[in-house]
Amino acid sequence: MLKLVLDPGHGGIDAGAVGNGIKEKDLNLELCRRIAGKLEGYDVEVTLTRTADADVDVYRRCELANSLKADYFCSVHANSGGGTGFESYVYTHAGEITESLRGVVHEKVAAYFKSAGFPDRGKKRANFVVLRETGMPAVLLENLFLDSPRDAVRLKDSSFLDGLAAAVAGGLVAALGIPVKEQAPPPLPWDPAAEIARLKADGLINSDHRPEDPVMWGELATVLNRIISFRRP
Ligand SMILES: [Zn+2]
């Protein structure tokens, strides 16, 4: 099964970017939880580098992904510093596979932001620890700017976040070719009391019994003989 690591950037004492009433660490975790939720119907093992508001060192995040032998690492962030829109990063010296996987994820997510009127700031490269120290293809997403009131208002909107999570999950599914989980057939409904009632209605037994009552040999033999006599012409 494919293994995916989702990395909610920052946490604990490291709030990340802060703006318009949003702390980046909280937004990143919320978004990663929603992305994991969108992937529940898929055959993929999803691990988050943190599941609470905790300060997890960036090197430890990479070690976690490396020890899991993850197939892909997706770090989730939001931007600040005077701008608007979406951009993604791969490592400065990323290879062809990393670049092509990023291309698929980027296009899906950028299309979602574009439909909401936000610009695609492009596919970028940087020497970020989580991109450099991970032993598998890795991408880092910068989802809008917390210091832009127009961006922040959408990031506070639960349905917008849900759509964003679906776009990221869709990008990951497409990039990695994650298959849909095979559904086990639903168990047959079994109602022991109804089975006993049916035997009585069919005349194989004469009285009511509780499902948990033991059967005596005399009763069993009677029922079996009745079945045999029904089958005789
Ligand atoms: Zn960040």
**188-207: pLDDT as tens digits:** 888 999 999 999 998 899 98
- Cα–Cα distance between 160 and 157 in angstroms, integer? 5
Query: Whose CA is closest to 105, among 170, 8, 29?
Result: 170
Distance 23 CA to ligand 1 centre (A): 10
**211-231: pLDDT as tens digits:** 999 999 999 999 999 988 877
For residue 164, give the CATH number of its domain: 3.40.630.40
Q: Could you confirm whether 142 is annotated as catalytic?
A: yes
Say yes or no: 133 and 211 in one domain: no
Q: Which domain, by its residues, includes 220? A: 192-231
Query: What average pLDDT does the segment 101-113 reach?
Result: 98
Q: Is position 113 within any domain?
A: yes
Paired tokens of 231: 């089958």
Query: How many structural domains is the chain composed of?
Result: 2
Q: Is position 66 within any domain?
A: yes
- Cα–Cα distance between 157 and 121 in angstroms, integer? 22
Strand, coil or helix: 205: coil
Distance 108 CA to ligand 1 centre (A): 21
Q: Is residue 172 classed exposed, middle or buried when 0-12, 13-18 and 19+ CB atoms within 10 A define those classes?
A: buried
H or E, element range at 164: helix 158-176
Say yes or no: 168 and 201 in one domain: no
Q: Is position 161 within any domain?
A: yes
Paired tokens of 10: 């920052």
Say yes or no: 86 and 122 in one domain: yes
